[in-house]
Structure 1
């Protein structure tokens, strides 16, 4: 691979890495907002979750799945980009 091609790929990868890191922090901040809403509205949620209808498990499981998705996606974006950068630097050292 020519040096010019490698520089073009590296520049493109850096742009996607920055975008991935921004997306990761965005997902983590959304998870923080959900936690904030849950904990500051705990009295209302407790009333809903202790009700004897089918909405209680539906609400609790949807909150759990939403927060797990947001945290998992955010951490995935951050780790993926840092691992790609580490692998790229290792390839450069091997060449």
Structure 2
């Protein structure tokens, strides 16, 4: 995505603009549509970040990687460890709900 003036240009060709408290989208292929503004801010939400060591499971879900395709879970006397499996051989490792390693 890129911001040009008051317009947000999505990678898929859709252009968004804010007009009279409505979000207007113009798609190269589908035409235009409008959405009612429900927030109290005019700023564009920040871009999602890559997963980082120390993130919680919820923070990883909200990151660029999102939900995993599969979860391998191991429970021991010392706690719970998980391996989250993503496409393209990417992995995130958790110890007791906190990211301890990322394999990209």
- TM bin (shorter chain): under 0.3
Larger radius of gyration: 1
Structure 1 or 2: larger strand share? 2
**What's the TM-score, normalizing by structure 2?**
0.18
| More contact order relative to length (CA 8 Å, sep ≥ 6) | 1
TM-score (norm 1): 0.19
